Structure formats: C-alpha cells, structure tokens
Structure 1
Amino acid sequence: MKSKGQPENRCQEENRMNEASVPNGPATVGVIGGGRMGAGIAQVFAALGSRVVVVESGEEAATAARQRIADGLAKAAERDKLDERPEVVLERVTLVEDVTGLPGHAELVVEAVPELPELKVEVLIGAEAVIGADTVLASNTSSLSIAELSAPLARPERFLGMHFFNPVPSSKLVEVVTPPQVADDVVGRVTGWVRALGKTDVVVRDSPGFATSRLGVMLGLEAIRMLEEGVAGAEAIDNAMELGYRHPMGPLRSTDLVGLDVRLAIADYLHSTLGERFAPPQLLRDKVAAGDLGRKTGKGFHDWS
C-alpha cells in the first residue's frame, strides 16, 4: 500500500512517540473518505495535533482530498484560527488508498463515506479488521441507524455515531449517537475528544434521524412545501427564520449547503422509518432530478453562482 504525503520510512513507532503531544486528543486518527466532510474532520484533528490517515481510493480522488484539507487550513490561517502554519499541520496528514492502510494503533477511526448503508457497512467491516481491539470506530452518518450499521461488526461495543456538521472546522456541534451496546468508556473518550477540538457534544440515543437531522429535515421539508405552495419566496422564508427566530441560516439556505440530494436521501429514510410526516415534497425530487443540488452545483433554492 503506497501512502501519500509522508516519507515511506515514517513508521508506527514514531507515531506512538508523538502520542503525548496531543493533550486530551487522540494521537492518531483514521478518516475513511476524503470528501467535504471527511476532509473537514481530518483538518480539525490535524490542527489539534493528531496524526491523521485519510483513506480515499484512486490517485485523483486522494489528490483532491489533500487539496481540500490544504485549502481548509489556509482559510483557517487567514481567519487567525490556526496555531501553526498550514503546511506544518498538513505534514501530519497522510493519504492511503484502502482501509488496509489504516494504522492499527489509531485511537479513533471515523467513517465519512456517502449515506449508503451497504457502502458504510462494507468499509466499517474492512476497517475493523485492521485496527486495534481498543480503537474507537465511529460513523459520521447524519441519520442511519447506528445499531444496524454495527450488526455485522465483531466489536459493536467500540462503535458509535460521531455526527459532525458542515463546515466541520467552524461548526461547534458534534452529535454523539449511542446505540444500546456501546461501552460507557467509549462514549466518555469520544465526548472528551470532541471537547478537545473546541466543540460541544450532544449525546443522543440511537433513533432515526437522531435529534438534529430529525428536527432540521422536518423544518426544511416544511419550508420546501411552503415554497411549492407559493406561500412565499425562498429569500422571504429564510429571512423569516433568520430574523424572526434568530436562526443563523434559513431552512432553504441550509438545505442548499447540505445538498438537496443528501437531504432527499435522509428524508426518504425518515419517511420509511417514521412515517408520512417526512414524505419529501415533489419540488425537492424535481430539483434533485434536474441536478440543482445546492451550493455544490451553483444552484438549489438559491443561486450560488
């Protein structure tokens, strides 16, 4: 397995020697997936001082993931939110092309692949086979059942949900999702790491949509229905919630930021598990079918071009 971003002769022994250099944080972290969320998770742990190994298949995808992290660090430095030079932090990040490249001594491995249960289960099983028995394994899923994802795992007591929010570096919240079988010490370690990142943990019981997605999606779907029915325009609906209820971002702008395709997938899942109140509006399906996915495509409920 060829690694990218660090010398070939840097070994696990050197990584272990650096464990004491990350007060209250994990010395070594694995992140599976180098997309927007995975890159953000890698960035914040690297900035904390952790050595981070990011799994992203294919040279092109790995290069893009590394660039996302580099860009994020540069922006953090511009805002005076970084204690070290971006290039110094980036040196702690390694890219590998398969979960077999994850370090066995990692204290934490976070899965951040797309919201497809079969894909998540596949990568989680693969990761568990190479990490240590004491490693905490987490999923960044925003709505899928943690208990169901853990069903095929050999050590479900070491597995829980760590739901980061986009954009990860500036978001202050991490939702820690606890299935019935998770060990208490795992929850304690994870909440401690969240606080070491300067973020706030909200511990919730494993249930469809958890707390944040369940509430956020419900508000977003109703805003889409209002737009569909001609109650008000997108700008007016968002302004009503931002100015009237002091929401930092209106529900339609939030949907654009998350991605209309992502929100539709979550809504479909909640619809199947919680009933008709989460049925996606036809307008949402139409926009996804047309490729208007929000900020990432330049157009959603607002124009981001």
Structure 2
Amino acid sequence: MNIKTIGVVGAGTMGTGIAHLAAMSGYDVILRDIDMAFIDRSIKNMDRLMSRSVEKGKMTEDARQATLARIKATTELEDLASADFVIEVVLEKMDLKREVFQALDRICRPEVILSTNTSSMSITEIAATTSRPDKVCGMHFFNPAQIMRLCEIIRGIKSSDETIATATELARAFGKTTVEVKKDSPGFIVNRIMIPQNVEAARLLQEGVASVEDIDTAIKLGLNYPMGPFELMDFTGVDINHAVMEYFADEFRDSQYGAPQIIKQMVRAGKLGKKSGEGFYKY
C-alpha cells in the first residue's frame, strides 16, 4: 500500500510526538483534536524542538519549515477521509476509542488501516466496533515518540498478516525498532512487565520498607534502569499508571495487579505527575 498521508487523532503528548515523527519522516500529516487550541499548542511544541535543533546545527531551517508545512491541523474527524493510514492517540478510555474507531470506519476508505497507540487495552475489542477488524492493529510508541526507539506492533485476533506487515514497515520508516506482539494480551510486552514492577514499588513505599528516593536509586543502580519506578510514574502520569493497574486487575481478574492504596490516594488528591501535579517528587 502506498502511504503518503498519515492521520493522527489526538494532539496530546503522544499524538504530538507521533505527528512530529511522521512529518519529519517525510509524510503529510492530518492532525486532529477536538479543540484547535490543543493543536496549536502541539505544533508550537514541535516548532520549539526543531528550533533548538536548528540552533545546534542538527537540522536546517529549510527542513524545519518543510516539516511544519506537511502538517494539516483540523478539528473535523471527517478530514481524515484523505488519510492513507490512521494512528489513534486519544485518552486511554475504551468507550472513547470505540467511538473514534466507529467514526473512522465510516469516514476512511475501506483499504485504510486503522491503528491505535493504546499502551494496554484490547486491540480486538477496539477493532470489533469496525467493519474492518482485519485492518486494525496496535502501534504502541513510547514517550517521547521522536526519541524512543521502540514501537510494539500488536495483533488483534482478526488482524491480517498484511496489516501487521504494513504497520511494521511504517514504524521502521519512522526509524523505529519494532517487536511483534503475536497475541492480544493486556499490556502487551513492555507494560505487562513494567506495571507489576510499579505496583510492587508502591507497595514497598506504602509498607514503609524504603523511601521513594532509595527505591528509585536501588532500581537504577541494581538493575541498570535509566529511571526508577517513581520517576517513571511521575513522567508518564500517576493517573495513567492507576488506570492501567486497575485495567490489569479487571482483565486478569487478579487483585495483585490492582493499584495500591497509596496510588489511589494520590489520584484522589490530584497528585498526578507529568509536572501538572506533585507526583512522588515535587517539581
């Protein structure tokens, strides 16, 4: 399939990164969100990053301008009718994703692949709302998408080999290393391993075994991780970690995956990380 235009639905942190990555890779991009203010902020963030690269000699001014020129901003989902491939990057809410995919199925040409950047949710359940489940897959990029090298390519039960091959080829055209998740399972590979570690770190803190700082230091120096679990939860958002923990507990029917009380209390108090709240560290 000849892909020239990428549709990106959602201009938050991940949507911004993916749209930026696609435009820098030479693709035309249709970036859609519900409010133009979100898109304006997204494009300003891209421009700021590229301006720094120009100042450091890592990018030319012509390349910066060409990248920005490839991005079309819209609040109309119908504008994705001209997209050759779509990546959905809305909030991690299954009802919302199903609603978006149902609309995309109606708007986009029958041959267009619809992918989701969900970090943990069922590709099969998302695909079931469409008439093309064979053309639905997961493409889980990592934050920041412009820098992180991995992209998980996830099969739904009905995802075709051609769909997986096309998504893999596209991710590699973005400069990513890909891994294939052959079975649609909550959390896929990375989060399936990471979330239980975060749960245990929170339990250690809750039980008074060690401090936030010492747990992070132990993991970074003992396991050679670049970030400790609390640094990572603050970076990705305590609320997002809470949602995934609860999703795991429900899907696996195992309370051991569920969010410890300390995480629940932080979410209730609005200490959400991502530099919008205190998280485990005060910014």
Tell me the TM-score range normalised by the shorter chain.
over 0.9
In the TM superposition, residue 170 of structure 1 has moved relative to its aligned partner by 0.9
Runs of 4 or more consecutive aligned structure 1 residues displaced over 6 Å after TM superposition: none
- 1:192-231 to structure 2, matched below 5 A, reads 192-204=169-181, 205-231=183-209
In the TM superposition, residue 69 of structure 1 has moved relative to its aligned partner by 2.6
1:209-241 CA deviation, whole Å, 9 max, x = no partner? 111111111111111111111111111111111
Match of 2:104, SS state, is: helix
Match of 1:137, SS state, is: strand
**Cα 1:254–1:140, aligned 2, differ >3 Å: closer, same or farther?**
same
Instruction: Tell me, yes or no, if structure 1 residue 140 matches structure 2 residue 122.
Output: no
Which structure 1 residue ranges, 5 or more long, are not aligned? 1-23
Among candidates 236, 239, 257, match of residue 261 of structure 1: 239
1:109-159 CA deviation, whole Å, 9 max, x = no partner? 000000111111111111121212221110111111110111120111000
Distance, in Å, in 2 between the alignment partners of 1:75 and 1:234 is 33
In the TM superposition, residue 75 of structure 1 has moved relative to its aligned partner by 4.5
The aligned amino acid for 2:195 is V
The aligned amino acid for 1:26 is I
Instruction: Tell me, yes or no, if structure 1 residue 154 matches structure 2 residue 131.
Output: yes
CA contact (8 A) 2:36 2:74 kept: no
In the TM superposition, residue 298 of structure 1 has moved relative to its aligned partner by 4.4
Which structure 2 residue ranges, 5 or more long, are not aligned? none
CA contact (8 A) 2:114 2:137 kept: yes
Distance, in Å, in 1 between the alignment partners of 2:94 and 2:187 is 14
Match of 1:61, SS state, is: helix
In the TM superposition, residue 299 of structure 1 has moved relative to its aligned partner by 1.5
- 1:237-252 to structure 2, matched below 5 A, reads 237-252=215-230
The aligned amino acid for 1:97 is T
Among candidates 77, 80, 84, match of residue 107 of structure 1: 84
The aligned amino acid for 1:289 is R
Aligned to 1:294: 273
Match of 2:7, SS state, is: strand
**Cα 1:277–1:131, aligned 2, differ >3 Å: closer, same or farther?**
same
Aligned length: 280
The aligned amino acid for 1:300 is G
Distance, in Å, in 2 between the alignment partners of 1:242 and 1:298 is 24
Aligned to 2:260: 281
Distance, in Å, in 2 between the alignment partners of 1:80 and 1:198 is 20
- 1:1-305 to structure 2, matched below 5 A, reads 26-77=3-54, 82=59, 85-104=63-82, 106-204=83-181, 205-274=183-252, 275-304=254-283
**Cα 1:255–1:75, aligned 2, differ >3 Å: closer, same or farther?**
farther
TM-score (norm 2): 0.94
In the TM superposition, residue 72 of structure 1 has moved relative to its aligned partner by 3.6
In the TM superposition, residue 81 of structure 1 has moved relative to its aligned partner by 5.4
Match of 1:102, SS state, is: helix
Match of 2:30, SS state, is: strand
Over the aligned positions, Cα root-mean-square deviation in angstroms equals: 1.8
1:170-190 CA deviation, whole Å, 9 max, x = no partner? 111111110121111111111
The aligned amino acid for 1:98 is E
Aligned to 1:8: none
1:84-115 CA deviation, whole Å, 9 max, x = no partner? 532221111011102101143x2210000001
Distance, in Å, in 2 between the alignment partners of 1:243 and 1:25 is 46
Match of 2:275, SS state, is: helix
The aligned amino acid for 2:121 is L
